[in-house]
Amino acid sequence: MATRSLARPSGANLSGASSQRRIYSDVFAKWPKQDLRPDYQLQDVLGKTVDARFQSYKPAIEREEILKARALQFLVQDKFKDRYKLQGPMLHPKSQPTYFDDLVREIEEAPNRSWFGRLGKRLSGMIRLQ
């Protein structure tokens, strides 16, 4: 994981800013790594955005920043997984009932595929036989 500076903001309300930074740091540490594109992690992209926002931190945006940080924290903790459960026909479209199962399997297999395997998949994607 790339290191983030998490520099202290230059504002009057450092306690509010530091608590928000703590929430963001905790979220970025717990956010799962993706194997599909290991050099481009979501937490690294979000960390740069957060760093940029905290460079010009103003106490007026404290409430909004807390809401954003807490929203990311809820996502990491899977708070909405049971509340908004995906089920039924949404997961099995009539045109291709195994679409999402195939997608998950493909994402899990892709990082371990050899160069020749990637080339074969690319060519098979270009040529579709009915």
- 60-115, pLDDT tens digit by residue? 778 888 899 899 999 999 888 878 887 778 888 889 899 999 988 988 888 888 88
Predicted local confidence at residue 15, as pLDDT: 64
Using a 10 angstrom Cβ sphere, with 0-12 exposed, 13-18 middle and 19 or more buried, the burial of residue 98 is: exposed
Domain span at residue 115 reads 88-126
| pLDDT value of residue 130 | 54
Q: Tell whether 71 and 97 lie within a shared domain.
A: no
Question: Is 53 inside a domain boundary?
Answer: yes
In degrees and rounded to multiples of 5, residue 65 shows phi and psi of -65, -40
d(CA 81, CA 18): 29
Q: Which residue has the higher pLDDT, 73 or 58?
A: 73
Q: Does 10 have pLDDT greater than 80?
A: no
pLDDT of residue 5: 45
- Is 108 part of a structural domain of the chain? yes
Instruction: Write down the pTM of the prediction.
Output: 0.61
Q: Which of 5-9, 20-24, 34-38, 91-95 has the lowest mean pLDDT?
A: 5-9
- Total domains in the chain come to 2
> For residue 58, how far is the Cα from the chain centroid?
26
Q: Quick check: is 35 in a domain?
A: yes
In this predicted structure, the answer to whether residue 31 has a pLDDT above a threshold of 80 is: yes
* Measured CA distances, 29 to 4, 41, 86, 92 (Å): 11, 12, 27, 34
Q: Are residues 33 and 69 in the same domain?
A: yes
The confidence score (pLDDT) of residue 26 equals 92
